[in-house]
Homo-oligomer: A and B are copies of this chain.
Amino acid sequence: MTPAHEAHRLFFEIGMRERARYGQELAALGLTFQLAHALRLVGDEPRSMKELAELLVCDASNVTGIADRLEARGLVERRPAEGDRRVKLLALTPAGDELREQVLAIMLEPPAAIRSLSRDDQVALRDILRRAVGD
């Protein structure tokens, strides 16, 4: 097994653990991954439904339901856009903004596997991953 293959295997293993961790923690907030992800994206700035579909990499028809579920919980609201009456913008409510902060805390928390590394290893890992994504 090459170093690249073994690195990938370990990468995948850590990723699966993470998926389980934040899945559980988001569920404790009553959120699925998709809803949490949408909440993150809407929070950066108000988004049209179409924009959100592109950011979520899903068909536009799904965004109706995602927005419905977020809106039903009072986390976002649909607003008319200026200049084009077809467009609706999704914007966070105060409650949505508050919950989004908790989502960010969960999603941005480094995995235990990374936290367990020495400071030097964390820096080396960051530098290698920067090169990997082509910085």
Chain A: residues with CB nearer than 8 A to chain B?
2-15, 18, 20, 57, 107-111, 113-117, 119, 121-126, 128-134
- Chain A interface SS verdict (over half): helix
- Does B10 contact A132, Cβ atoms closer than 8 Å? yes
- Does B129 contact A116, Cβ atoms closer than 8 Å? no
| Smallest CB gap from A15: residue in B | B15
Tell me the number of copies of this protein: 2
With A7-B122, A9-B108, A14-B11 given, is the CB distance from A116 to B134 under 8 Å?
A: yes
- Does B131 contact A128, Cβ atoms closer than 8 Å? no
On chain B, the residues within 8 Å of A121 by CB distance are 128, 131-132
- Does A10 contact B134, Cβ atoms closer than 8 Å? no
Extra contacts, 19 of them, besides A7-B126, A113-B133, A124-B124 (Cβ < 8 A), are A3-B126, A4-B114, A4-B115, A5-B110, A8-B110, A10-B126, A11-B15, A11-B129, A13-B133, A14-B129, A15-B15, A15-B18, A20-B57, A114-B132, A117-B131, A121-B128, A121-B131, A121-B132, A125-B132
- Does A114 contact B11, Cβ atoms closer than 8 Å? yes
With A15-B15, A20-B57, A124-B124 given, is the CB distance from A130 to B5 under 8 Å?
A: no
Q: Across chains A and B, which 7 residue pairs bring their CB atoms closest together, nearest first?
A: A10-B129, A8-B110, A113-B132, A3-B122, A7-B126, A4-B110, A3-B126
